[in-house]
């Protein structure tokens, strides 16, 4: 009897935590397979790393999605400012080389760093090209930040989005650095 209890407890521990797919609370996505309902779920795994939900490839109209090759090109040619929109602790632990940190929840007060000026409202005609990222394809931080940027006059066509974020950068084994002030 004792071994059955241990096995049952072990099964509970090993059961993967179900996490959001399309929203924070949406735990299943139902499709038809062979004429019957079939549920797709998302389990928290070591590879998954965070509990967000799937983000659109283009979360704001006019924003351009970019790949790792685009980031490498921008880093080599200094053609865009790389903005890590994660909270400071994540940034200081590891980030993409030459990235600056403007957390998503502070972006509307920090647009000056990106070429905008403020006089009762933001004026962003001199805004620089940026590539923004956060934790990865399920992280809502940079999509939220981009929406706030555009709402505050930042031109969407000057924003590129690296949806893969740190999760994909790490998974590909690309070099990271500790973030600096």
Quick check: 132 and 83 in contact, CB under 8 A?
yes
Residue intervals of the chain classified under CATH 3.40.250.10 are 64-171
pLDDT value at position 44?
A: 60
3-class secondary-structure state, position 119: coil
Would you state the pLDDT for residue 9? 39
3-state secondary structure 69-101: HHHHHHHHHCCCEEEECCCHHHHHHCECCCCEE
Average pLDDT, the chain: 84
Residue 109 has what DSSP assignment? G
Regions of the chain where pLDDT drops below 70: 1-24, 27, 31, 40-54, 181
| pLDDT for 148 | 97
Write out the two tokens for 8: 């049952």
For residue 159, what are the CA distances in angstroms to 59, 128, 146, 156, 180? 11, 9, 8, 5, 23
Q: What pLDDT score does 155 carry?
A: 98
Q: What is the CATH number of domain 64-171?
A: 3.40.250.10
pLDDT, position 160: 98
């Amino acid at each position: 009897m004792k071994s059955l209890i241990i096995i049952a407890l072990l099964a509970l521990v090993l059961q993967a935590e179900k996490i959001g797919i399309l929203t924070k609370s949406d735990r299943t996505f139902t499709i038809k397979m062979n004429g019957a309902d079939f549920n797709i779920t998302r389990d928290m795994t070591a590879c998954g790393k965070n509990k967000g939900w799937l983000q659109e490839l283009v979360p704001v109209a006019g924003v351009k999605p970019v790949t790792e090759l685009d980031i490498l090109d921008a880093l080599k040619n200094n053609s865009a400012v790389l903005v890590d929109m994660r909270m400071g602790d994540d940034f200081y632990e590891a980030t993409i080389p030459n990235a600056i940190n403007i957390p998503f929840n502070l972006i509307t007060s920090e647009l000056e760093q990106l070429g905008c000026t403020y006089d009762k409202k933001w004026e962003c005609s001199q805004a620089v090209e940026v590539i923004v990222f956060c934790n990865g394809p399920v992280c809502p931080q940079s999509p939220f930040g981009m929406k706030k940027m555009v709402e505050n006059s930042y031109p969407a066509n000057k924003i590129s989005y690296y949806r893969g974020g740190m999760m994909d950068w790490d998974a590909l084994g690309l070099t990271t650095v500790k973030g600096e002030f």
